[in-house]
Amino acid sequence: MESGKLAIIGGGKLGSALAEGMIRAGLIAEYRIHITRRNAELLKPLADKGLITGSDNIAAVKDASIVFLAVKPWQVEEVLGSLVDSLAPSAVIISLAAGVSLKKLQEASGDRFTVFRAIPNTAVAVCESVTAVCSVNASEGDIKLVGSLFSGLGIVEFIPEDKINAATVLASCGTAFALRYIRAAVEAGVEIGLSPETAVNMVAQTVKGAARLLLDGDAHPEAEIDKVTTPGGVTIAGLNAMEHAGFSSSIIKGINAAFRKTENK
Ligand SMILES: NC(=O)c1ccc[n+]([C@@H]2O[C@H](COP(=O)([O-])OP(=O)(O)OC[C@H]3O[C@@H](n4cnc5c(N)ncnc54)[C@H](OP(=O)(O)O)[C@@H]3O)[C@@H](O)[C@H]2O)c1
């Protein structure tokens, strides 16, 4: 088997973001990366950056040590079933599809391969994903390999499969939720006199900085909020007006609604 080949089946939004992240993380020096979609012309930007592109899934998985499945959830079992006879016996399969269980993946792969589910978010393109990962019967070596691959693309959380829907809501849908906060703050910033470009930079960097305070330390969000909030001051006036308009409760409600949707409730 040729060493160091990765295959991404389904070069859409997430598959392409994953490929971009792999390029940025320098994995292209370590692995040959082959990405497919049926309309392979759309992969030209990735071909220009040195990836092997095409629409032949069988050629992509041949000799690949890791195969990422990034097609739509309802396509995963059929696509995986069409590939199993072409996979190297030691190939590791990583499904990125929301809602497709490890049991279904094992069945579709004829119970012959190590199977992982991984839920990155689109920030994987800039190596800032949080990727939730679960597996069944994976060896320590495979867990280490998958963990180190995704930790080069952000941070990794290994979690039980029954928490993967919660992780999907917080970390994948969460990208949209966070961007909606940013969009609202930018609109307000323009209303109070900043240019849209300046407002985007200020809000995006402020959110990034707030996140770093938590990620680089072990502070609670409220402890960091306290540092900015002078009694009788400007910040508390803003925070309380937001809370009167339902800020925290709307976020909790939105996250619960998204979670119920993942559970089909
Ligand atoms: N977007 C996210 O934030 C996110 C986060 C976590 C997980 N996911 C999961 O990631 C998966 C992909 O989502 P997405 O948002 O990236 O969807 P998407 O943009 O529609 O990408 C799916 C891609 O699969 C390709 N495809 C379809 N059939 C194929 C086949 N037989 N062989 C090879 N490629 C094929 C499609 O391209 P052609 O039509 O050209 O074939 C399409 O580009 C989903 O299962 C989703 O649950 C997404």
242-257 pLDDT per residue, tens: 999 999 999 999 999 9
How many angstroms separate the Cα of 42 from the Cα of each of 11, 16, 38?
9, 10, 9
Render pLDDT for 86-115 as a digit per residue (tens, 0 to 9): 999 999 999 999 999 999 999 999 999 999
Cβ atoms of residues 48 and 30 within 8 Å: no
Q: Whose CA is nearest to atom 28 of ligand 1?
A: 71
- Of 18, 201, 176, whose CA–CA distance to 97 is shortest? 18
Angle between helix 196-215 and 221-228 (nearest 10)? 130
Q: Distance, CA 203 to ligand 1 centroid (Å)?
A: 30
Q: Distance, CA 225 to ligand 1 centroid (Å)?
A: 39
Residue 219 has a pLDDT of 86
Long-range CB contacts (within 8 A, 24+) of 254-261: 254/177, 255/169, 255/170, 255/173, 255/177, 258/169, 258/173, 259/165, 259/166, 259/169
Residue 125 has a pLDDT of 97
Q: Which atom of ligand 1 is nearest to the CA of 79?
A: 31
Q: Which atom of ligand 1 is nearest to the CA of 73?
A: 45
> Identity (one letter) of the amino acid at 105?
L
DSSP state of 109: T
Q: Which residue has the tokens 């306290």?
A: 226
Q: Distance, CA 73 to ligand 1 centroid (Å)?
A: 8
Q: Of 3.40.50.1970, 3.20.20.140, 3.40.50.720, 3.40.50.2000, which CATH number belongs to 5-159?
A: 3.40.50.720
Backbone angles phi, psi at 10, to 5 degrees: 110, 75
Q: To test ligand 1's pocket by mutation, which of 36, 37, 169 has the most ligand atoms within 8 angstroms of CB?
A: 37
Fold classified for 167-262: ProC C-terminal domain-like fold (1.10.3730)
- Of 66, 73, 65, whose CA–CA distance to 10 is shortest? 73
Rounded distance between C-alpha atoms, residue 182 and residue 134, angstroms: 31
Q: Which atom of ligand 1 is nearest to the CA of 11?
A: 43
Computed over every residue of the chain, the mean pLDDT equals 96
Rounded distance between C-alpha atoms, residue 135 and residue 131, angstroms: 13
Q: Distance, CA 13 to ligand 1 centroid (Å)?
A: 6
Q: Which atom of ligand 1 is nearest to the CA of 38?
A: 41
Render pLDDT for 140-185 as a digit per residue (tens, 0 to 9): 999 999 999 999 999 999 999 999 999 999 999 999 999 999 999 9
Rounded distance between C-alpha atoms, residue 33 and residue 29, angstroms: 10
Q: Which residues line ligand 1 (CB under 6 A)?
A: 9-15, 36-39, 57, 70-73, 75, 79, 96-98, 119, 121-122, 172
Q: Distance, CA 1 to ligand 1 centroid (Å)?
A: 27
Residue ranges of the domains in the chain? 5-159, 167-262
Confidence band (pLDDT; 50, 70, 90) for 217? confident
Backbone angles phi, psi at 141, to 5 degrees: -65, -45
> Identity (one letter) of the amino acid at 89?
P
Backbone angles phi, psi at 99, to 5 degrees: 80, 0
- For residue 3, pLDDT over 90 is answered with no
Q: What three-state secondary structure class fits 60?
A: helix
- For residue 2, pLDDT over 60 is answered with no
Q: Which residue has the tokens 């949707």?
A: 261
Rounded distance between C-alpha atoms, residue 265 and residue 263, angstroms: 5
Render pLDDT for 46-87 as a digit per residue (tens, 0 to 9): 999 999 999 999 999 999 999 999 999 999 999 999 999 999
